[in-house]
Amino acid sequence: MPPFATPPVPPMHVGFDDRSGGMSPSGPVLVRRMSDLRGLYADQAAWTAALESDDVVYEVASSPVPELEGELPQSITTILPGRVGGEFHMTKGHMHTRPRGEIYLGLSGLGGLLLFDGERPQWIEMRPGSIGYIPPHWAHRSVNVGDEPYRFLAVYPGDSGHDYGWVAEHGMGHRVFHGSGGPELRPFTFPAG
């Protein structure tokens, strides 16, 4: 086989534990606690109160496929249920540093995919078996809108990159709050203070 055809990792089977959300063989696991979500929630007083326990909000378990051009890394994110000032638990959200699409597959629980291109917000409901497509140039954040852990598989080009600063600067167009009839999207405002 010519050198250009040799991938950095061999073909492999990746197992998924539907109870823990882990992968085998596993790559890195990212754990985000409430303290890692500074500035994301509208109700800063409620966020500050939640810091007392500093609970885990979500975890991202990755396969060993590297984030390199030509590769398709996979990860499984588990967002635990909860709310801060009425706003559902969520991921930080990011924009890809290179214009690349991404696919999410709902595995368990109820959630949603909040997307924003800088002008138009978009909401995609996610449940087990749902496939959410994220086009290039759209920031995206996942939200748990249920009462149990929401888990999804993400597959993305390895050279996509993750720009969390874009979301911190521009927001996501809307926020997702608990409403009487389910998730309620409200126009995004940056937290006061």
Residue pLDDT, tens place only, 41-86: 999 999 999 999 999 999 999 999 999 999 999 999 999 999 999 9
Domain boundaries, the chain: 23-187
pLDDT at 77: 98
Question: 190 with 111: CB under 8 angstroms?
Answer: no
pLDDT at 5: 53
Q: d(Cα 31, Cα 10) in Å, to the nearest integer? A: 27
Does residue 93 come out as left (phi exceeding 0), alpha (psi in the -120 to 50 range) or beta? left
What integer is the mean pLDDT of 2-15? 74
What integer is the mean pLDDT of 35-46? 96
Place of tokens 């009487």: 180
pLDDT at 192: 65
Place of tokens 């990860």: 75
> Which of 23, 64, 36 has the alpha carbon at shortest distance from 158?
64
List, for residues 118-156, the tens digit of each pLDDT value. 999 999 999 999 999 999 999 999 999 999 999 999 999
Res 193 pLDDT > 70: no
**In the chain, which ranges are E strands?**
15-16, 23-24, 29-33, 56-62, 74-79, 83-84, 87-88, 102-108, 111-116, 121-126, 131-134, 139-144, 150-155, 174-179, 182-187
List, for residues 157-177, the tens digit of each pLDDT value. 999 999 999 999 999 999 999
Res 3 pLDDT > 60: no
pLDDT at 4: 53
Helix (H) or strand (E) holding 168: helix 164-170
List, for residues 95-124, the tens digit of each pLDDT value. 999 999 999 999 999 999 999 999 999 999
In CATH terms, is domain 23-187 a member of 3.40.30.10?
no
Res 1 pLDDT > 60: no
Number of H helices, E strands in the chain: 2, 15
> Which of 152, 155, 157 has the alpha carbon at shortest distance from 105?
152
